[in-house]
């Protein structure tokens, strides 16, 4: 069976953002073009972030796929861990504020920023 690796940015049991890999079985299609089962979506948005863009710590409001179309995006977590994504790369963002919690930027969420000389172009697809 063929598998796709889904990189997930999520909220851990301790309320902090973390990255996790998840296998998605490619059970549909044909041997030369294996597909995952069809997943529902709730719309998409495109974003252009100019050089120098950096967000504060925040949580994702709605679970969504993030696809990097141009430029580079860095995602930083509490404790100094970060990952850089470039064109053609993607991750599933589900770093939600835990139910009943009041947002604390010293505990919750992640930050994002544009890297390099090129604007960051991203596509968000809500799950």
Q: Dump pLDDT digits (tens) for 74-105.
A: 999 999 999 999 999 999 999 999 999 999 99
Enter the tokens of residue 52: 């120098």
What's the whole-model pTM score? 0.93
pLDDT tens string 39-75: 999 999 999 999 999 999 999 999 999 999 999 999 9
What is the structure's pLDDT at 68? 98
Chain mean position to CA 43: 16
Tally of CB atoms within 10 A around 30: 7
- Per the listing, tokens 């796709």 go with 4
Shortest CA distance to 25 belongs to which of 35, 14, 33? 35
What is the structure's pLDDT at 82? 97
CA distance 42 to 65: 11
Average pLDDT over residues 6-32: 96
Instruction: Inform me whether the pLDDT recorded for 6 exceeds 80.
Output: yes
What is the structure's pLDDT at 16? 97
Average pLDDT over residues 8-14: 97
Looking from the CA of 11 toward its CB, the CA atoms found within 13 Å total 19
Instruction: Inform me whether the pLDDT recorded for 1 exceeds 80.
Output: no
What is the structure's pLDDT at 97? 97
Q: What is the CATH number of domain 39-126?
A: 2.60.120.10
Tally of CB atoms within 10 A around 98: 16
């Amino acid at each position: 069976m063929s598998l796709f690796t889904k990189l997930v940015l999520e909220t851990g049991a301790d309320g902090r953002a973390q990255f996790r890999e998840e296998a998605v079985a490619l059970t549909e299609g044909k041997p030369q073009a294996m597909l995952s089962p069809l997943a529902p979506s709730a719309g998409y948005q495109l974003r252009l972030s100019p050089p120098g863009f950096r967000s504060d710590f925040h949580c994702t409001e709605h679970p969504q796929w993030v696809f990097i179309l141009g430029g580079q995006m860095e995602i930083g977590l509490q404790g100094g861990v970060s990952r850089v994504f470039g064109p053609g790369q993607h991750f599933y963002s589900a770093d939600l504020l835990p139910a009943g919690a009041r947002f604390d930027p010293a505990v919750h969420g992640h930050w994002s920023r544009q890297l390099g000389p090129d604007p960051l172009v991203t596509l968000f697809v809500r799950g």
